[in-house]
């Protein structure tokens, strides 16, 4: 985009940054939702009480990833 003024260019850049940040936020939210679904599936396969999606999404990303990794390892150990 060729801007007509520095203000137009600044507005354009701010808008593009906002759109990029929003897209990144949505991608992250989708990934967390997918991980929460995987946790529920693994809990079912292991015969454990299933946590709600809402409860799982309240966890921070690192805790959710750790829980997922733990459940995956336990399933491998059980089936190995």
How far apart CA 79 and CA 71 sit, in angstroms, is 12
pLDDT at 2: 60
pLDDT at 57: 96
Based on the number of CB atoms within 10 Å of its own CB, is 56 exposed (0-12), middle (13-18) or buried (19 or more)? buried
SS3 of 19, please? helix
How far apart CA 64 and CA 35 sit, in angstroms, is 7
pLDDT at 16: 97
pLDDT along the chain (80 residues), means of 10: 80 96 97 97 97 96 97 92
Domain ranges of the chain: 6-79
Assess contact for 75 and 42: CB atoms under 8 A: yes
pLDDT at 1: 54
């Amino acid at each position: 985009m060729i801007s007509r003024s520095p203000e137009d260019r600044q507005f354009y850049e701010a808008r593009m940054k906002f759109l990029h940040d929003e897209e990144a936020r949505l991608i992250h939210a989708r990934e967390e939702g997918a991980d929460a679904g995987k946790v529920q599936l693994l809990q079912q396969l292991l015969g454990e009480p299933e946590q709600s999606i809402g409860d799982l999404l309240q966890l921070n990303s690192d805790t959710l990833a750790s829980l997922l990794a733990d459940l995956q390892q336990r399933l491998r150990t059980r089936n190995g």
